[in-house]
Amino acid sequence: MKKAIIIFSLIIAVFSVSAAAQKEKEKVVLPLDQILEADAKHNLNVAWQYFKLKKAYQAALMRTEETLAAHPTFSKIDEILYISGMSSYYLANGKGKQKINPEMLNDDEKERFAPKRLIEDAVAFLGTLVEEHPDSKYRKKAEKYLKLIKPEK
């Protein structure tokens, strides 16, 4: 009887180890592109919230620039460019609930958030959107603001 219990215990132990090993093999390791895509989607969602709901254009711009740097091939890069361009435009014009206080900025940030630089950035972001993403649903809005920013002569 004792031998049967010991054998039964050993069989259960072997199957438990085998099952644990099988589960370990089944763990899927995601490719880097999928990880970057998921992170970029999260940043995009947060950026939209800052942009639309909170009118926190500096925060939206920081989120989108992080995505542009980390994942320039993001599937929704047109939205990132739109938020970046519009946030830059709005910040340059002093709009939104989040005001830039030059006294609180270091020299690099003062240059980065100077109205002239923000307008240049808005033109670059929106221009890239128009040129590289002609089928984007944000293209017409981008073109409209590009005409406002730098009217044709």
Q: How far apart are CA 93 and CA 114, in angstroms?
A: 10
Q: For the beta carbon of residue 150, count every other beta carbon within 10 angstroms.
A: 13
pLDDT on residue 153: 42
pLDDT on residue 49: 98
Query: Over the chain (153 residues), what is each successive 10-residue block's mean pLDDT?
Result: 57 56 60 88 97 96 95 95 98 91 85 94 97 97 95 58
Residues 6+ apart with CB under 8 A from 53: none
Which tokens hold the place of 48? 């939209």
Q: Are 118 and 88 in contact (CB under 8 A)?
A: yes
